[in-house]
Structure 1
Amino acid sequence: MLITNVRAHHIRIPYEAGVASFKQGASAIAAVDIVLVEVSTDTGLTGWGDAWGYVCPQTTSTAIDEMIAPQARGLEVPDAAGIPAFMDRIQRNLHLFGRYGITMFAISGLDIALWDLAARVKGEPLHRLIGACRRARIPAYASLLRIGDPALVANECEAALRRGYPAIKLHETTVPPVFAARQAVGTGIPLMVDMNCPMDEAAATAFAQACRAAAPLFLEEPVWPPEDFKALAAVRAKGGLAIAAGENACTVYQFRQMMTEGAVTYAQPSVIKVGGITEYLKVAALADAMGVKLAPHSPYFGPGFLATLQLMSLRDDGTFIEIFYMNRAACLWRGRIDIDAKGSIAVPEGPGLGYEPDNEIMERYRVS
Structure 2
Amino acid sequence: MKITDVRAHHIRIPYDAGVASFRQGASAITGLDMVLVEVATDGGLTGWGDAFAYVCPRTTLTAVEEMIAPQARGLDVPDAAGIPAVMEQIQRHLHLFGRYGITMFAISGLDIALWDLAAKAEGVPLHRLLGEARRTRLPAYASLLRIGTPDNIAAECDKALRLGYGAIKLHETTTAAVYAARKAIGGDTPLMVDMNCPLSGEQAIAFARECREARPTFLEEPVWPPEDFATLADVRRQGGLDIAAGENACTLHQFRQMMAAGAVSHAQPSVIKVGGITEFTAVAAVADELGVRIVPHSPYFGPGLLATLHLMSVRSDGLVEMFYLKRAACLWRGAADTDSDGNITVPQGPGLGYEPDRDVMEQHRVA
Deviation at 1:338, TM superposition (A): 1.4
Alignment partners' CA distance in 1, 2:295 and 2:18: 27
CA distance in 2, matches of 1:266, 1:274: 16
Match of 1:349 in 2: 348
Q: Which runs of 5+ in 1 are unaligned?
A: none
Describe the SS at the equivalent of 2:284: helix
Deviation at 1:309, TM superposition (A): 0.3
**How big is each residue's C-alpha offset from its partner over 1:174-221, in whole Å with a ceiling of 9 and x where there is no partner?**
100100000000011000000000000000010000000000000000
Q: CA deviation at 1:130?
A: 1.7
Within 2, Cα distance between the matches of 1:129 and 1:99? 26
- Alignment of 1:218 with 2:218, yes or no, is yes
Instruction: State the alpha-carbon separation in 2 of the partners of residues 130 and 32 from structure 1.
Output: 29
Cα-to-partner distance string for 1:244-303 (whole Å, 9 max, x where unaligned): 000000000000100111000000000000000000000000000111111100000000
Task: Give a deviation string over 1:36-95, Cα, whole Å, max 9, x none.
Answer: 000000111100000000111000000000000000101101110000000000000000
2: distance between equivalents of 1:337 and 1:41? Answer: 26
User: Secondary structure, in 3 states, of the residue corresponding to 2:306?
Assistant: helix
Supply the distance in 1 between the matched residues of 2:154 and 2:202 (Cα, whole angstroms). Answer: 28
- The equivalent of 2:60 in structure 1 is 60
User: What CA distance in whole angstroms lies between the structure 1 residues aligned with 2:198 and 2:223?
Assistant: 6
- AA at the equivalent of 2:366: V
Shift of 1:169: 0.1
CA distance in 1, matches of 2:287, 2:210: 29
Deviation at 1:341, TM superposition (A): 1.5
- Percent same amino acid at aligned positions? 72
The corresponding residue for 1:144 is 144
SS at match of 2:166: coil
SS in 2 for 1:94: helix
* Pair 1:203-2:203 in alignment: yes
Structure-2 residue corresponding to 1:185: 185
d(CA) in 2 for partners of 1:151 and 1:238?
30
2:8 is matched with which residue? Answer: 8
Per-residue deviation, 1:109? 0.2
In the alignment, the residues of structure 1 paired with residue 49 and residue 350 of structure 2 have an alpha-carbon distance, to the nearest angstrom, of: 14
Q: How many residues align?
A: 367
Pairwise CA RMSD of aligned residues?
0.5
Tell me how far apart the structure 2 counterparts of residues 315 and 25 of structure 1 sit (CA, whole Å): 37
Residue 124 of structure 2: aligned partner: 124
Post-superposition Cα deviations, 1:111-135, rounded to whole Å, max 9, x if no partner, equal 0000000000000000012211000
Separation in structure 1 between the aligned mates of residue 129 and residue 283 of structure 2, nearest angstrom: 18
Would you identify which runs of 4 or more consecutive aligned residues in structure 1 move more than 4 Å? none
Q: TM-score, normalised by structure 1?
A: 0.99
Mapping 1:83-162, distance limit 5 Å: 83-162=83-162
Q: Per the alignment, in what secondary structure is the counterpart of residue 223 of structure 2?
A: coil
- In the superposition, the TM-score normalised over structure 2's length comes to 1.00
- 1:311 equivalent in alignment to 2:311: yes
Partner Cα separation in structure 1 for residue 339 and residue 53 of structure 2: 28
Q: Which amino acid aligns with 1:325?
A: Y
